[in-house]
Amino acid sequence: MKVAIVTGGGSGIGKAIARRLGEDGFLVALFGRRKEVLEAAAAEIDRAGDGILPVPVDIGDRSAVQAAFERVVQRWGRLDLLVNNAGMNAPSIPLEEVSQDQWGQVVAANLSGAFFCTQQAFKHFKSQTPQGGRIINNGSISATTPRPQSAPYAATKHAITGLTKAAALDGRPFNIAVGQIDIGNAGTDMTARMATGVLQADGSIGIEPTIDVSHIANAVSYMASLPLEANTLTMTVMATQMPFVGRG
């Protein structure tokens, strides 16, 4: 059996990915801040509980991340896949009004957390037999193109692209494959406001389409199914009609 960790696994995209990986035969650990949310998701995905492990952890805390990874490896013996999915946004406000705390929270969740988890995954991938493993980062379409009033989120997601490429390079000698999925308008609680209208680049408010999270889960399933000699470095999965390609 292969073992996966999904951060932000208690809800939304993370839960959909965890469910699909479980269907694919993975043993799955769910990382997230809220114990009750993780436990509810685990019960929903696998009522028997044998193939899923809820692990409450603040991924912005490096020591907590180390302990969480060790708990997974002690339980199941190895690690094959890390999905760096957890993330958050700051309020949609003018850039100069973003507080230090708001900036720090987004950086901790979106970038530092992904980096700390990547460090621990590399540690275990390198030391286990057979050596190697895969990391899939949730970059978001904001990894290439920002929305208005989203500087903290866009900055961290652009940085995820750099982390993906650097980790892919550093992982080569150790049979570690690192790729990124950039997601546009997956239908979750975070994107519910798109049904009533969100700020556009021209200053207008526009309703945007969303897509079911199952499409994201299916894409991650494909990326995870590849042998380690093959890697999807980047993939974009988006609502066809969303204002992304072109000039808005």
Amino acid 163 reads L
Q: Residue 222 catalytic?
A: no
Residue in 153, 179, 188, 198 annotated catalytic:
153
Amino acid 41 reads A
Pairing of strands 81-84, 3-7: parallel
CA distance 148 to 155: 12
Classify each residue of 28-46 as buried b or exposed e, where b means 16 or more C-beta atoms within 10 Å of its C-beta: bbbbbeeeebbbebbeebb
The residue behind tokens 């180390």 is 66
- The secondary structure of 71-130 as a DSSP string is HHHHHHS---EEEE-------S--GGG--HHHHHHHHIIIIIHHHHHHHHHHHHHHHSSS
Tokens of 243: 């204002």
Quick check: 2 and 180 in contact, CB under 8 A? no
Catalytic positions: 153
